[in-house]
A and B are shown apart, each in its own frame.
Chain A
Amino acid sequence: MLGFLVGEALRDVRRAGRVGVSAILLITLSLAALGAFWLLSLNLGLAVAQWRERLRVVAYLKQEPADVRALVAKVTAMEGVDRVRYVSKSEAMATLKRALGEKAAVIDDLPRNPLPASLEIAPDAGAATPEGTRALSARLSALPEVEEVQGGAEWVESLAQWRRLFQSVGLGVGAVLALAAILTVTTATTLVLHVRRDEMEIMRLVGATALAVRTPVLLQGLIQGLAGALLALAGLEVTYAVLAPRLEPLLAVTLGLARAVFLSPPEILALLAAGAVLGGLGGLLAKPGV
């Protein structure tokens, strides 16, 4: 029975002709747009997570503490702190020399090491926000050993805001295209219903259940939706394969991302399911006799 119903649905897909093709293409477009924004958002999300992980607040000390371990333990115990690393004056100088390279000789003439000792503080996940780092900075500034505090999460947050913007735009564009796709599938299915009204009448007269009469219509929508989703995925995969190697150097410099990622298998399945749902809805909304 199921084989017969699927066969009837495939026959209907062929019958839908150009309108059916339009429906499939619109589903492809809507899911490709949704998928593209999803990919962007996914990679921006990775960059945000990576930068949050690298986020540091630096507390410059008035002088090298007598008991480094005690100061580190005190700061580690503060709210919003994940890890603390002590950087001595000499370590800071060595780092500066490495950074200056061949020009490091200019600082050899200095009468004394002007660089302060510092604490590099990694905020925990809850504090890795602009408000969190501001609060942490305030707490650190209040310490008598601390001269000045630098660092914050503002730009990481602005990256996260870009990500949210991409998500919203993606959902908006996807929703508009999805609506158009549903309407096109509905039109395609309604046309097919009109063509096959004789068959539906015969089905009813010989005692087919309402479900059996309606199932090919639903399946037709599902098949169109799945076909559109597969095309969208293929388009995204090809675009990713072509663009990712070219964009990765730029991503490394701007976002610090070593490589761009593609949708995971569950995300691919979700996109296919979205196609099936779009098509199925179109089939469900179609009414005969229009």
Chain B
Amino acid sequence: MIRLHHVAKVYSVGAVRVPALSDVSFSVAKGEFVVLRGASGAGKTTLLRLLYGDEPPSEGEIEVAGLDVTALKRRQIPELRRSLGIVFQDAKLLGARTVYENVAFVLRVLGTNPGDVTPRAFAALRAVGLSSRAQAYPAQLSQGEAQRVSLARALVKEPPLLLADEPTGNLDEDMADEILALLKEAWTRGTTVVLATHQAGLAERLKRRTLVLRQGRLVKDES
């Protein structure tokens, strides 16, 4: 599902070159649940951004869902992203739209048959236990609920790969466990999951393959 081969990412700030990732290589098989752990600034978010084509690597090769991301042209990026679900630390919900509209928005953007939009959006909301909050606005939700809506939005298009960037970073332990349970549920239904987190305890509780990043380098790959 994912293959990185000697990937490096360097940012240039004026004349200064700041390496964000150095010589990172690993693979994730289809149906795996992988935790990407590292302290803030270790390169987790940069790595995820390379995976969803938000920016190109400085060196190396990246393959995601059968696509050579390094060779993709700008106009081909949407094709890559349609096979991904992405969840962020801040839920990135649209404040002027209801919970239902936030989830349905994705299906409409992708040109889903209008007759299928409502059933699929409600199915996704039911899966995260929020169908009763469909008409609420993001401002009326708790952080945990907002993150669950964000998860429903990522999963509603049934992507083969889910990238979650610190989805529990703003949540207390109980709420974090709820999100983890939902991620596991998606995984048991066949979705490949990559969860980036700085929380060592969370990675230990999950008992899944863990890739540890430190200062942009992959220092551990433990199952």
- Interface, chain A (partner B; CB < 8 A): 1, 3-4, 198-199, 201-210, 212
Contact, CB under 8 Å: B110 / A208: yes
Q: How far is the CA of A208 from the CA of B111 in the complex (A)?
A: 9
Q: Which of B80, B82, B95 has the most CB of A within 10 A?
A: B82
Contact, CB under 8 Å: A202 / B106: yes
Majority SS at the chain A contact face: helix
Could you say which residues of chain A place their CB within 8 Å of the CB of B14? Answer: none
Q: List 21 A–B pairs whose Cβ atoms lie within 8 Å, in order of A's numbering.
A: A1-B108, A198-B92, A198-B94, A201-B92, A202-B94, A202-B105, A202-B109, A204-B78, A205-B81, A206-B82, A206-B86, A207-B78, A207-B79, A207-B80, A207-B83, A207-B84, A207-B110, A208-B109, A210-B75, A210-B78, A212-B111
Is B100 part of the contact surface with A, judged by Cβ < 8 Å? no
Knowing that A4-B108, A204-B78, A206-B82 are A-B contacts, what are 17 other residue pairs whose CB atoms are under 8 Å apart, sorted by A's residue number? A1-B108, A3-B114, A198-B94, A202-B92, A202-B94, A202-B106, A205-B52, A206-B157, A207-B79, A207-B81, A207-B82, A207-B84, A207-B110, A208-B109, A209-B75, A210-B78, A212-B111
- Interface, chain B (partner A; CB < 8 A): 52, 74-75, 78-84, 86, 92, 94-95, 105-106, 108-111, 114, 157
Contact, CB under 8 Å: A206 / B108: no
Q: How far is the CB of B7 from chain A (nearest CB, A)?
A: 21
Select one of A1, A199, A201, A209 contacting B78, CB under 8 A: A209
Contact, CB under 8 Å: B109 / A4: yes
Select one of B74, B79, B81 contacting A206, CB under 8 A: B81
Could you say which residues of chain A place their CB within 8 Å of the CB of B109? Answer: 4, 202-203, 206, 208, 212
Q: How far is the CA of A199 from the CA of B84 in the complex (A)?
A: 17
Could you say which residues of chain B place their CB within 8 Å of the CB of A201? Answer: 92
The total of interchain contacts (Cβ-Cβ below 8 angstroms) comes to 48
Report the 9 A-B pairs with minimum CB-CB distance, sorted nearest first: A207-B82, A207-B81, A1-B111, A4-B108, A207-B78, A208-B109, A206-B106, A209-B78, A203-B109
Could you say which residues of chain B place their CB within 8 Å of the CB of A207? Answer: 78-84, 110
Contact, CB under 8 Å: B94 / A208: no
Q: How far is the CA of A77 from the CA of B43 in the complex (A)?
A: 94
Contact, CB under 8 Å: B78 / A208: yes
Could you say which residues of chain B place their CB within 8 Å of the CB of A208? Answer: 78, 109-110
Chain B residue at minimum C-beta to C-beta distance from A11: B96
Q: Which of A3, A209, A212 has the most CB of B within 10 A?
A: A209
Chain A residue at minimum C-beta to C-beta distance from B108: A4
Q: How far is the CB of B56 from chain A (nearest CB, A)?
A: 16
Could you say which residues of chain A place their CB within 8 Å of the CB of B95? Answer: 198
Could you say which residues of chain A place their CB within 8 Å of the CB of B78? Answer: 204, 207-210
Could you say which residues of chain B place their CB within 8 Å of the CB of A199? Answer: 94, 105
Q: Which of B74, B80, B106, B157 has the most CB of A within 10 A?
A: B106
Q: How far is the CA of A179 from the CA of B86 in the complex (A)?
A: 42
Chain B residue at minimum C-beta to C-beta distance from A206: B106
Contact, CB under 8 Å: B92 / A206: no
Q: How far is the CB of A157 from chain B (nearest CB, A)?
A: 58
